[in-house]
Structure 1
């Protein structure tokens, strides 16, 4: 039986707007989130860094350059510096607390991208009273351990890269595996390099442990259908319109 957690209180399969739907234009902005939520998305994947003065902000990269064309590391800038950054006249670096407050009905999948973002993210989630509607994720197992310790296991978490590797190996060899109680989902790519991760064996094993399996980042409708046929519990996509249409065609769109 899959883990019952408030974060997962919607019918599976879940549909996640990756960075708010990065293929549609702006990513990780209030405009991107509003667009996805306007389409009916109730799960949004996003990324968090912390500023030099300890503000948790929504941004994927450690530097501004790719998104804004400007130089500067998020961790070296103060919030006042980032608040004035514009692309096409629009603000591109929202605060985490602003986003959580703006959409209290939405579940946020928060990838904490750097060690410095751990404490500000946890503090922001606590102040917003959003512990039941966020999942804290990271590629770093050490970072996730710190997130779990600070939240005392009360906030849903995913698995880091080593955790996913352990889960995959255990599924292949039928080995017992103990996971922290706050882990409610394995959020994984279909494959790492040439190694296939998501198959029926992996799904069955994860489900026996009470975990949902969410797959990223899937943008082609054929692959979306294949994964849904396989039995995945959620899909993350940059192409929010495409995933919505696929879910609608299968009767999964609950918005």
Structure 2
């Protein structure tokens, strides 16, 4: 594995990631939600990205506009001129990834490449903003992640894809070498639970740390779950409840 990437430099404290920004009003992945997280003091944001038909990277979780905006249709089928007219929750415009990277130049951003349409546009947004040292680029698909990284002029931080993480998780139980299982990724970003069953325990965290990888857990919204995972030694938490996570970290003396 390469040397520790600057993205992970957080003064030795757990990384607190605001999941799609912070909004209790259903305005996920909007500039208002990201600003709310920054106003709370967050220096790590999490977002998802797709590409429009004219190759503009936009911050949106779903492949369609239907669930979160007042418009419909596949993002990849529409030009930016149509997508930018859509309103999240009927009130907030869909932001470009470049707007997020450019508006808060000191904030670090975890980017999930949600579809093939986003590969080129996401890489281009990172290149134009020269955000390489402050982004973590991952995907559920290792192929999408690798294709995006190949287009970048400098290294960025990157987490394991879904199949890689599952292989590592199984390998820890069977005694496989975690370093060989994970290859060149810097971190594991894995769910807190598989249904009602906790997915992560100290055995896996210790194995990841022994292999030089960070462990970030998503999506953790309950105070007791946050406390439990921090006690286990996770390196980061992704949460919809940025307010609660901040309170927990402040009380523990771990707020950056």
Q: Could you say which residue in structure 2 is the equivalent of 1:198?
A: 200
C-alpha deviation, 1:83, in angstroms: 1.6
Distance 1:60 1:87 in 2: 12
Distance 2:89 2:26 in 1: 12
2:99 equivalent to 1:63: no
2:240 equivalent to 1:238: yes
Kept in 1, the 8 Å contact 2:132–2:154? The answer is no
C-alpha deviation, 1:120, in angstroms: 1.0
Secondary structure at the aligned position of 1:64 is classed as coil
For this pair of structures, how many residues does the alignment match? 253
C-alpha deviation, 1:174, in angstroms: 2.1
Q: CA RMSD in A?
A: 2.0
Cα displacement string for residues 96-140 of structure 1 (whole angstroms, at most 9, x for unaligned residues) = 111111000000000010011011111110111001100001111
Q: Could you say which residue in structure 2 is the equivalent of 1:218?
A: 220
1:184 to 173, 183, 186: 186
Moved more, 55-64 or 193-202: 193-202
1:30-49 matched pairs, under 5 angstroms:
30-49=31-50
Distance 1:170 1:23, change over 3 A: farther
**TM-score for both structures, normalised by structure 1:** 0.93
Cα displacement string for residues 151-210 of structure 1 (whole angstroms, at most 9, x for unaligned residues) = 3771111111111011112211221242343x2110000233476431111001111111
Secondary structure at the aligned position of 1:67 is classed as coil
Q: Could you say which residue in structure 1 is the equivalent of 2:115?
A: 114
Q: Could you say which residue in structure 1 is the equivalent of 2:5?
A: 5
**TM-score for both structures, normalised by structure 2:** 0.92
Kept in 1, the 8 Å contact 2:48–2:114? The answer is yes
Distance 1:5 1:87 in 2: 33
Secondary structure at the aligned position of 1:156 is classed as coil
Secondary structure at the aligned position of 2:67 is classed as helix
Kept in 1, the 8 Å contact 2:27–2:89? The answer is no
Distance 1:239 1:41 in 2: 12
Distance 1:157 1:197, change over 3 A: same
Kept in 1, the 8 Å contact 2:218–2:239? The answer is yes
Distance 2:73 2:90 in 1: 19
Q: Could you say which residue in structure 2 is the equivalent of 1:72?
A: 73
Distance 1:85 1:101 in 2: 21
Moved more, 5-14 or 30-39: 5-14
Secondary structure at the aligned position of 1:222 is classed as helix
Distance 2:25 2:206 in 1: 34
Secondary structure at the aligned position of 1:151 is classed as coil
Query: Unaligned stretches of 5+ in structure 2?
Result: none
Kept in 1, the 8 Å contact 2:26–2:89? The answer is no
Kept in 2, the 8 Å contact 1:7–1:132? The answer is yes
Kept in 1, the 8 Å contact 2:70–2:89? The answer is no
Secondary structure at the aligned position of 2:229 is classed as helix
